[in-house]
Structure 1
Amino acid sequence: MGQKRIYEQVGVAMTSRSYAEYEKMFMLQAEQLQGKRVLDVAGGASSFTVEARKLGILAEAVDPLYEKSSEEIDQHGRQEIGLVAAKMEKLQDVYDWSFYGSLQNHTAGRIKGLERFVEDFSSRNGMARYHVACLPVLPFEQDSFDLVLCSHFLFLYEEQFDYAFHLKAVRELLRVAKPGGEVRIYPLLSFRTEEYGRLPDLLNECTNEGHLVEKREASLPFLPNSHQYLSIIKRGFA
């Protein structure tokens, strides 16, 4: 049996995913989010916020990346897209391309997402919706958001961030969510495409604290075993 081929990642990557990808990862329905306040945590250069805003969703994003200028983010993003494409080219047979179609389409989508992000980030209103901070401390009041999303950060970097960090981070996501609001995290995997090893412990902690925890089906079958996201509904009533 051959050695498992995995995506090699050092440090935390910056990506530029689209609203359509978030829709699939988190099973979002735009009509249900009209006028709702939604936070994208560790959003990177995703175009989710700007695209969601155009759909009437009150989206904001937070990431330490936002201390950089739009020019620096654009340059860094394009370098990252090139590196990702080179690494993925060697692993093309590992992934399910039914959503993206091809590596070329995947790369083109990342570039488009980056361009949309940079345009919005550098706009007059950019400062109001892109916040500089990183988990496990967010610069928002308690009970602020109807929905809090975290894509491709928690769990994925299992080898870089310990369980204590993950627990603090999830508690912080819940702190800024409204009572009865929801936290969604995707995927549930490390880079080894295996479920986060301490997930049962984390789910028990959240359950014991009174939150409603559930693994739910996602619909972005790209990474092996990436068919679920985590839903945590904050205790209390909206």
Structure 2
Amino acid sequence: MNKTKLDLDKIIFIGRTYEEYIDMFALTEEHLQGKNILDCPAGACSFTAKAREQGISVTACDIAYDHSVEALEKKGQEDISHALVHMKKAESNYVWDYFHNLESLGDHRRTALEDCIRGMEVNRGHYLPVELPELPFHDQQFDLTLSAHFLFMYADRLDVEFHKQTLEELIRVTKEELRLFPLIDLEGHRYPHLDEIISFLHDQGCDVEEVNVGYEFQAGGNTMLKVRRL
């Protein structure tokens, strides 16, 4: 953690709600109980805060958490407003079944941010700054790891080697299962090196399954990768 923190203006601090996580990752609350869970990178998501309110052990980590709660709340509000303006110009790229309209989407994003900020205020120790592909956790420390809207999405700036290094690290800290969502890039195209990544995960001694989920907002983004340690 001695690295220079990334300027906040280079970070997009937007998150999803707890309910979105349940749908994105095809989870059940029964499945979560008794598990030690990692959300990485967690951004402004409400999953950690809402899960911990139910007695579920979740740790969130993200490069953004190097910054103060106040700065993150301000940045999150700005990013939501900015995103909604730009999404209005490209509404046809999205499936409006889950949110129905931009106003509903904005409400969900603000709720996620508010829950995340509240969680940080309750216990900042549950929100750890990290810089992938390195993680400050023990081998197999978490039963389940969830990773959303990072790998695969930024294929234009994160090369295949970075993906492999990050996945290797996520697998290292995971005892049972890693789930990744979605499997498309920002343009809505299936990640072009996914077959190579799946082969790499097999070489790491993992079983890999692509699973359809009951959540689709970005058109084509309705599958996750379920990676199990053997």
1:234 matched residue in structure 2: 229
Task: Kindly indicate whether the alpha-carbon contact (under 8 Å) linking 1:218 and 1:227 is maintained by their aligned counterparts in 2.
Answer: yes
The aligned counterpart of 1:222 is: 217
| 1:16 aligned residue | 15
Match of 2:95 in 1: 96
Query: Take 1:97 and 1:56, find their aligned partners in 2: how far apart are those partners?
Result: 32
TM-score between both structures, scaled by the size of structure 2: 0.93
How many Å separate the matches in 2 of 1:119 and 1:88?
Answer: 27
Cα distance between partner residues in 2 of 1:108 and 1:230: 28
Equivalent positions of 1:1-238 (< 5 A) are: 13-123=12-122, 125-127=123-125, 129-178=126-175, 181-235=176-230
In the alignment, the residues of structure 2 paired with residue 73 and residue 12 of structure 1 have an alpha-carbon distance, to the nearest angstrom, of: 10
- Deviation, structure 1 residue 191: 0.8
Q: Which runs of 5+ in 1 are unaligned?
A: 1-9
How far did residue 234 of structure 1 move? 1.4
By how many angstroms is 1:199 displaced?
0.7
Corresponding residue of 2:6: none
> Is the CA contact (8 Å cut-off) linking 1:207 and 1:213 kept in structure 2?
yes
Instruction: Please give the secondary structure, in 1, of the residue aligned with 2:168.
Output: helix
Instruction: Describe the superposition over 1:37-78 as per-residue Cα deviations: whole angstroms up to 9, x where unpaired.
Output: 111001011111011112232111000111111100000000
Task: Name stretches of at least 5 consecutive residues in structure 2 with no aligned partner.
Answer: 1-8
Whether the aligned pair in 1 keeps the contact of 2:13 and 2:72 (CA below 8 Å) is: no
RMSD across aligned positions (CA): 1.3
Q: Secondary structure at the match of 2:34?
A: coil
In structure 2, how many angstroms separate the alpha carbons of the residues matched to 1:65 and 1:52?
20
Per-residue deviation, residues 107-134 of structure 1 (Å, max 9, x unmatched): 01111111111111022x222x111102
Matched-pair contact (CA < 8 Å) for 2:34–2:57? yes
Identity, % of aligned positions: 33
What's the CA shift string for 1:193-238, capped at 9, x where partnerless?
1111111011001112221001011111211111100010012xxx
Conserved? CA contact 2:11–2:64, under 8 Å: no
- Report the 3-state secondary structure (helix = DSSP H, G, I; strand = E; otherwise coil) of the residue aligned with 2:185: coil
User: Which of structure 1's runs of 4+ aligned residues deviate more than 6 A?
Assistant: none
